[in-house]
Amino acid sequence: LSIATTFDTLVFPLDTAAFGAPFDMDGNGRVILFFTTAVNALTPRNSGGIIGGFFFSRDLFPQVATPQVAACPTSNEGEMFYLPVVDAAQQFNQYFRSKDTLETDIIATLAHEFQHLINASRRIYVTVAEVDFEAVWLNEGMSHIAEELLYYRVARYAPKQDIGYSAAVASQSLNAINSYQVENLGRYSDYLAATDVNSPYQLNDSLATRGATWNLLRWALDQSPNPPNSYLKALVDNDKWGQPNFNQVFAGVGGV
């Protein structure tokens, strides 16, 4: 119940303000958070990383084709994403051993996966983009921006503020960094460690690419004159894909 409440009161208004509202294909006014051991099973035992959830774009397609939208027979026909369950007996791995750890670890996942859902649903049903899904590097970068926006909201800071050491390590801010921002910093560090072989535009899903794209988006948003959500919504609602989308939305920023 507390996870659903956090989604309703914090994540949903935050993501929709930044990226727009998801298209309600099933007309029920709801987003389903589906908890399943299938998510737990995705992370091998003793893994150094963790998969905290996922969004499956097939669920946005009807099981029977319409004149506008292709069919997916295995679709659940609704706005939903998938989350792990409490694994007290550590059947799958060492993660999510209690409800407290589950609640702590997946709030950022809610913001991340919900951006993917918004992005895909609007490209399919609102923009009717020629390519239904955004390029993976840009899509993931926007979801990492969603995590960062969660940090700002919980820490009660805002982009472009000069946050000094004492402010950053204050208990509320430090907890928010550890919950919602430290992974972005780690992925960006992976990029900085090998800039000669990585790029924010690479057509892959590597951690270094994600870190680079997150930083590129943060820089572009900070250099742009209008409210950040106007650019994020423009990226979501663009019928272009990948670099042409980015270049159009941030035209003139830093020589783009």
Measured CA to CA, the distance from residue 122 to residue 105 in angstroms comes to 28
Q: Is the pLDDT of residue 255 over 60?
A: no
Q: 193-214, pLDDT tens digit by residue?
A: 999 999 999 989 999 999 999 9
pLDDT band at 126 (very low <50, low <70, confident <90, very high): very high
Residue 79: predicted pLDDT: 97
Using CA atoms in the order 131, 134, 136, 138, what is the torsion angle rounded to 10 degrees?
140
Quick one: pLDDT band at residue 34, thresholds 50, 70, 90?
A: very high
Query: Residue 168 — very low, low, confident or very high, per pLDDT cuts 50/70/90?
Result: confident
Instruction: Find the radius of gyration of the CA atoms of the chain.
Output: 18
Which pLDDT score, from 0 to 100, does residue 2 have? 87
Q: Which tokens in the block code for residue 76?
A: 């659940």
Q: Is the pLDDT of residue 29 over 80?
A: yes
Using pLDDT thresholds of 50, 70 and 90, give the confidence band for residue 1: low
- Read off the pLDDT of each residue in 158-175 and give the average, rounded to a whole number: 88
Q: Is 28 a residue whose pLDDT tops 90?
A: yes
Is 100 a residue whose pLDDT tops 60? Answer: yes
Q: Is the pLDDT of residue 182 over 90?
A: yes
Q: What is the pLDDT of residue 254?
A: 63
User: Which whole-number Å values give the CA distances from 251 to 184, 223, 243, in the listed order?
Assistant: 25, 11, 11
Q: Are 187 and 214 in contact (CB under 8 A)?
A: yes
Min mean pLDDT across 26-30, 67-71, 166-170, 187-191 is at 166-170
Mean pLDDT rounded to a whole number for the chain: 93
Mean pLDDT of 45-74: 92
- How high is the pLDDT of residue 131? 74
Q: What average pLDDT does this structure show over 226-237?
A: 96
Q: Please tell me what DSSP assigns to residue 82.
A: E
- What is the DSSP secondary-structure string of 93-156? -SS--SHHHHHHHHHHHHHHHHHHHHHHHHHHHTS--SSSS--HHHHHHHHHHHHHHHHHHHHT
248 close to 240: Cβ distance less than 8 angstroms: yes
CA distances (Å), 54 to each of 13, 57, 82, 143, in order? 20, 10, 5, 12
Name which of 231, 229, 201 is nearest 216 in CA terms.
201
List all residues 6 or more positions away from 52 whose beta carbon is below 8 Å from its beta carbon. Answer: 39, 83, 84, 105, 106, 108, 109
Residues 6+ positions from 66 with CB-CB distance below 8 Å? none
Confidence of residue 46 (pLDDT cuts 50, 70, 90): confident
Residue 222 has pLDDT above 90, yes or no: yes
